[in-house]
Amino acid sequence: MVRAAAVAAPALQLLLVLCAAAAAWAADDNAGLTKFKVYFHDVFGGPNPTAIRVAQAASTNGSSTSFGAVVAIDDPLTSEAASGSAEVGRAQGSYTFADQKTLGLLMNMNFVFTAGEHNGSSLAIMGRNEVLSSVREMGIVGGTGKFRMAKGYVEARTVDSGAKSGETIVEYTLFVKA
């Protein structure tokens, strides 16, 4: 018994140290993770569009996926989903219809915050947006202000396709580490 205890004590100690290290590592993994939501309003119809097609190929009209079209955006970002709700920033950049087989966009944009708790900061987002999927994940590749050195990802979910209104509304949940 005495010998067993003498052997067990260092092993137990090692185990405790390893557990503590694992716990610290797990905690560190989530350190500085900020999660929040914004709503993206892509107004492509009506008198005041915020998304305009700036380029396409001769073959784009014949493509069922609009392959080759490029759209420039300066889209409102709001904290509530409803059209016209208070703005917290703008999504500025472009999306390219980048897939010949399915409706797949390459999003290349900055979320520029102009009000609320992130006012003055921005996030650079780039990724594949297969718009007919229920959830699309895209990367956060950088940022400025409080988001300097940011990395993370977003989850995009369509709230309204805009087929009737000419305004697509998408919920973006952002997971950011900066």
Ligand X SMILES: *[C@@H]1O[C@H](CO)[C@@H](O)[C@H](O)[C@H]1NC(C)=O
Give the torsion through C-alpha atoms of 99, 103, 109, 115, to 10 deg.
Answer: -170
When the beta carbons of 56 and 108 are compared against ligand X, the nearer one is 56
Instruction: Give the C-alpha separation, 139 to 153, whole Å.
Output: 4
Instruction: Give the C-alpha separation, 153 to 137, whole Å.
Output: 7
When the beta carbons of 10 and 62 are compared against ligand X, the nearer one is 62
Report, in Å, the least distance between residue 116 CB and ligand X: 7
Report, in Å, the least distance between residue 136 CB and ligand X: 27
Residue 5: what residue type? A
Instruction: Give the C-alpha separation, 20 to 29, whole Å.
Output: 14
Report, in Å, the least distance between residue 164 CB and ligand X: 20
Instruction: Give the C-alpha separation, 119 to 125, whole Å.
Output: 17
Q: Between residue 87 and residue 146, which ones bind ligand X under the rule CB under 6 A? A: 115, 119-120
When the beta carbons of 89 and 93 are compared against ligand X, the nearer one is 89
When the beta carbons of 106 and 115 are compared against ligand X, the nearer one is 115
Asked whether position 45 contacts ligand X by CB under 6 A, the answer is no
Instruction: Give the C-alpha separation, 75 to 88, whole Å.
Output: 11
Q: Between residue 54 and residue 83, which ones bind ligand X under the rule CB under 6 A? A: 58, 61
Report, in Å, the least distance between residue 170 CB and ligand X: 23
Q: How many CA atoms lie within 13 A of 70 on its CB side?
A: 10
Asked whether position 161 contacts ligand X by CB under 6 A, the answer is no
Where on the chain is the footprint of ligand X (CB under 6 A)?
58, 61, 115, 119-120
